[in-house]
Amino acid sequence: MNSNTITTQDGTQIFYKDWGDGPVVTFSHGWPLNADAWDGQMHFLARNGFRVIAHDRRGHGRSSQSSSNNDMNGYADDLAQLFEALDLRKATMVGHSTGGGEVARYIARHGSKRVARAVLIGAVPPVMLKSAANPEGLPIEVFDGLRAGVASDRSQFYKDFAIPFFGANRPGAKVSQGVLDQFWLWAMQCGQKNAYECIKAFSETDFTEDLKKIDVPTLLMHGEDDQIVPIHDSAKKSARLIANVKTLYYPGAPHGLTATLQDKVNADLLAFLRA
Residue (of 86, 87, 106, 90) closest to 28 by Cα position: 106
CA distance 37 to 28: 10
CA distance 58 to 55: 9
DSSP string, 117-177: EEEEES---S--B--SS-TTSB-HHHHHHHHHHHHS-HHHHHHHHHHHHTTTTSTT----H
CA distance 19 to 192: 29
Q: Where are the beta strands (DSSP E) in 20-62?
A: 24-28, 51-55
The number of helices, as runs of H, and strands, as runs of E, in the chain is 11, 8
Alpha-carbon torsion (186, 120, 92, 98), positive or negative: negative
Residue (of 102, 96, 115) closest to 265 by Cα position: 96
Active site residues: 97, 226, 255
